[in-house]
């Protein structure tokens, strides 16, 4: 992963970050790097996630999924970090896999869940259920729905299910009782930082992707971590985003110029929001897609309030397709071009238009969208986020607001008595009805 922060400098954008201010900030980056490295060395909660490229055993993952390696379809049941990392990897590498259809049940909308299950060849479909605690309400509810669908179709779900969970809990008990293939959620790794573990790689393994290459790309990014933002792409991004936020740029629009990376933007949104949104601090992540959102969101980012950093993600190499010639004079120029050239022109024009309007933007570049580069991108963004936590002086690895809502939900369903559930009845209403 390479990072170009030139269009975020004060000489180009307003507000922007001066080179002098980056030099001063680099002293804090050096201190943060020491803290991060100490946390990694001790395997501290959260910091341990940055050790996954070395800790994750791709051979163990492949041997565990071997009983369903020939599946025509895979249903991954999880929510948040238990699904988004896996979805990011298989969606990005869709064209390089073995054609396995993938379904991610990461919501409990009943109509949506039912439609996702319709038409799947259940006898040839594998199930991957993911929850560290084994008690996540949404995950367990969807698993029960899927299990019932298999039983109704006369398919033995126990022969088609892989469990990824912690050392104890209902899912671990289920795996032991039915002798299901299972993998451990790694200790000390929050879900949103777990893409480079079994949590994110089981689906990739079933789809036939090169797990070693994913981890090698991540390890190369890990080896680039250093005590200076001017030497480390991940820290350059994290420090620049933080510095811009301190100057009023409170929104971060992640805009990949590759359709295959659309899910990555969703993964980034969770990582950035859940990790850094603490103590009334943190940027609000927004998901965008080039070129689609040039025709929707770009108007706001170029001419609206000066509060948005646009982060572009661009692969340098991609497959291409020529644009057929046409006899329409006004469109004849397209006949000499390719879709790849049009995409590149759209990107260059958008980046330049923001710079011309003095709007900060950063470019993240990959050589191509493949296993190695994707591993580096995921690791780099995680490291940037951990650095952000150090600079904001917040705990990037907890999510107290999420836990509040979990307790309220459980209380509303009668799971236990929680004060959070009582707050639901206290809602202020001002209804306007027809």
Provide the annotated active-site residues: 274, 295, 406
CA-based Rg of the chain, rounded to a whole angstrom?
23
What whole-number distance in Å separates Cα of residue 415 and Cα of residue 137? 10
What whole-number distance in Å separates Cα of residue 338 and Cα of residue 342? 6
What whole-number distance in Å separates Cα of residue 264 and Cα of residue 260? 8
Kindly write down the DSSP assignment for every residue of 302-345, as one continuous string. HHS-S-EEEEEEEES-----BPPP-S-GGGGGGGGSBHHHHHHH
Residue from 313, 299, 302 nearest 255 by CA: 313
Contact 35, 393 (CB under 8 A): no
Contact 99, 69 (CB under 8 A): no
The count of residues in the chain is 434
Distance spanning both ends of the chain, measured CA to CA: 54
Kindly write down the DSSP assignment for every residue of 113-162, as one continuous string. HHHHHTT--GGGEEEEEEESSS--HHHHHHHHHHHHHHHHTT--GGGSEE
Contact 396, 388 (CB under 8 A): yes
């Amino acid at each position: 992963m390479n990072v170009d922060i030139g269009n975020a400098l004060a000489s180009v954008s307003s507000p922007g970050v001066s080179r002098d201010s980056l030099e001063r900030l680099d002293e804090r980056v050096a201190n943060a790097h020491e803290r991060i490295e100490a946390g990694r060395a001790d395997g501290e909660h959260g910091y341990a996630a940055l050790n996954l490229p070395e800790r994750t055993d791709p051979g163990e993952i492949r041997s565990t999924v071997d009983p369903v390696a020939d599946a025509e379809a895979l249903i991954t049941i999880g929510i948040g970090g238990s699904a988004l990392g896996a979805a990011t990897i298989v969606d990005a590498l869709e064209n390089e896999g073995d054609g396995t259809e993938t379904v991610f049940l990461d919501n409990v909308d009943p109509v949506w869940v039912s439609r996702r299950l319709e038409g799947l060849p259940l006898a040839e479909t594998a199930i991957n259920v993911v929850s560290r605690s084994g008690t996540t309400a949404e995950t367990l509810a969807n698993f029960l729905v899927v299990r019932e669908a298999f039983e109704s179709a006369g398919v033995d779900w126990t022969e088609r299910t892989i469990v990824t969970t912690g050392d104890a809990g209902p899912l671990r008990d289920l795996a032991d009782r039915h002798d299901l293939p299972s993998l451990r959620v790694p200790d000390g790794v929050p879900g949103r930082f777990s893409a480079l573990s079994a949590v994110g790689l089981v689906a990739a393994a079933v789809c036939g992707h090169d797990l070693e290459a994913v981890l090698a790309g991540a390890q190369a990014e890990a080896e680039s971590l250093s005590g200076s933002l001017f030497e480390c792409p991940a820290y350059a991004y994290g420090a620049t985003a933080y510095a811009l936020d301190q100057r009023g740029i409170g929104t971060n629009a992640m805009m990949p110029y590759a359709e295959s990376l659309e899910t990555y933007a969703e993964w980034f949104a969770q990582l950035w929001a859940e990790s850094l949104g603490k103590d009334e601090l943190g940027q609000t992540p927004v998901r965008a897609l080039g070129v689609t959102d040039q025709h929707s969101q770009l108007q706001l980012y170029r001419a609206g309030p000066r509060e948005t950093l646009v982060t572009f993600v661009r692969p340098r190499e991609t497959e291409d397709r020529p644009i057929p010639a046409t006899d329409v004079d006004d469109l004849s120029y397209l006949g000499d071009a390719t879709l790849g050239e049009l995409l590149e022109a759209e990107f260059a024009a958008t980046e330049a238009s923001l710079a011309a309007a003095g709007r900060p933007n950063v470019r993240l570049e990959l050589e191509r969208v493949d296993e190695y580069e994707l591993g580096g991108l995921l690791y780099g963004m995680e490291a940037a986020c951990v650095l952000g936590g150090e600079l904001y002086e917040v705990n990037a690895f907890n999510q107290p607001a999420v836990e509040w809502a979990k307790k309220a939900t459980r209380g509303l369903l009668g799971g236990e008595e929680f004060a959070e559930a009582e707050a639901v009845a206290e809602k202020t209403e001002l209804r306007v009805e027809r």
